[in-house]
Amino acid sequence: MELQYFGGNCIKLTTKEASIVIDDNLEQLGLKSIVKPNDITLHTNSADELEDKAHFAINRPGEYELSNISIIGIPAQLHIDEKGTNKAVIYKIVVGDIRVVVVGHIYPELDEKQLEQIGMMDILVVPVGGNGFTLDSKGAQKLIKDIDPKVVIPTNYADKAVKYPVPVTDLDSVLKELAVEPKEKLAKLKIKNTDQFTEKPSYIVLERQ
């Protein structure tokens, strides 16, 4: 399995049998969409329109089995939704024995039911840019503590090439606030099995493709 980062909150997860693209709203951010006709797309905001060009698109909670991949969508509250309605979706993706969770722009107070549905995780993909639109370092830190993953991949931080709807914090400042040093900076994260994970969360920065 491979993970790549494309800016904003867009992550691509690739296996031998499928390609999953999460949160490709890249055109709204001044970048080019990466979705191809055979891709599976996931949207963490249930209001996002589904792409006609994707093979299969998901923007709501539920359980899905596609190309030997288990995808579980868990309802959550959008970070900017003051009414607290479930307009966001957390995705738990299981490939073999590797477990990935992508939280998107959610309110960081997860209840026991949500945490139970998420369960034990190997990799957490979490936005960190803050400024009211998405999680900041404090919100991200709470989720990291609650979910307790083995690998943390930050997304949605300041990048000169990305035109965010609101200014966001740069990654160095976020990592300083979290008091952590990234273990690695990679073009892509390749995962063969869970043996390569450590017990304590390690932070891996994926370079934007």
Pairwise CA distance, residues 156 & 10, whole Å: 8
pLDDT in tens, 50-98: 777 888 999 999 999 999 999 999 999 988 765 666 789 999 999 999 9
Across the chain, mean pLDDT equals: 93
Three-class DSSP category at 43: coil
Percent of the chain whose pLDDT exceeds 70: 97
Please give the model's pTM, rounded to 2 decimal places.
0.94
pLDDT in tens, 106-150: 999 999 999 999 999 999 999 999 987 799 999 999 999 999 999
Given a contact cutoff of 8 angstroms between Cβ atoms, the answer to whether 78 and 88 are in contact is: yes
Strand partners, 205: 185
The predicted structure's pLDDT at residue 161: 96
Per the listing, tokens 């000169």 go with 160
> Span 154-172, mean pLDDT?
95
What number of CA atoms fall less than 13 Å from residue 172's CA on the CB side?
A: 1
The structural domains of the chain, ordered by start, are 61-206 (3.60.15.10)
- Closest by CA position to 1, among listed 85, 90, 68, 88: 68
Q: Where are the alpha helices (DSSP H) in 82-159?
A: 112-118, 137-147
Which residue did the predictor score with more confidence, 46 or 1?
A: 1
> Span 38-54, mean pLDDT?
86
Pairwise CA distance, residues 98 & 56, whole Å: 22
Three-class DSSP category at 145: helix
Residue 163 structure tokens: 């035109």
Residue type, 148: D
Q: In which band, very low, low, confident or very high, does the pLDDT at 180 lie, cut at 50, 70 and 90?
A: very high
Pairwise CA distance, residues 176 & 98, whole Å: 29
The DSSP letter of residue 74 is E
pLDDT in tens, 13-39: 999 999 999 999 999 999 999 999 999
